[in-house]
Amino acid sequence: MSETIRAGMIGLGAMGAPMAGHLASAGLLQAVWNRTGSKAEALAAVIGVTAADSPATLARECNVVVTCVSADADLLAVIAALRPGLRAGSTVVDTSTVSPDTARRAAQQAAQAGAAFVDAPVSGGVEGAIRGSLSVMAGGESADIERILPVLEAIAASITHMGPVGSGQATKAVNQVIVGGVAEAVCEALALAEKLNLPQERLLSVLAAGAADSWFLRHRGQSMLDNRFDTGFKLALLLKDLNIVQSLARDLNISMQGVELAIRDFGRLVESGDGNNDISGLIRLKRAPADAWL
Active site residue 172: yes
Catalytic residue among 172, 195, 234, 286: 172
d(CA 162, CA 164): 7
- Report the distance separating Cα 199 and Cα 212, nearest Å: 17
Residue count of the chain: 294
Alpha helices in the chain (DSSP H): 16-25, 37-47, 55-61, 72-82, 100-112, 125-131, 142-147, 149-155, 167-195, 200-208, 215-225, 235-252, 257-271, 282-287
Half-sphere exposure of 6 (CA within 13 A, CB side): 13
SS3 for 269? helix
User: What is the C-alpha separation between 262 and 266, in angstroms, rounded?
Assistant: 6
d(CA 128, CA 16): 11
Residue 41 has a CB neighbour count (10 Å cut-off) of 14
- Three-state SS annotation for 155-191: HEEEEEEEECCCHHHHHHHHHHHHHHHHHHHHHHHHH
Nearest residue to 51 via CA among 20, 95, 97: 20
The set of catalytic residues is 172
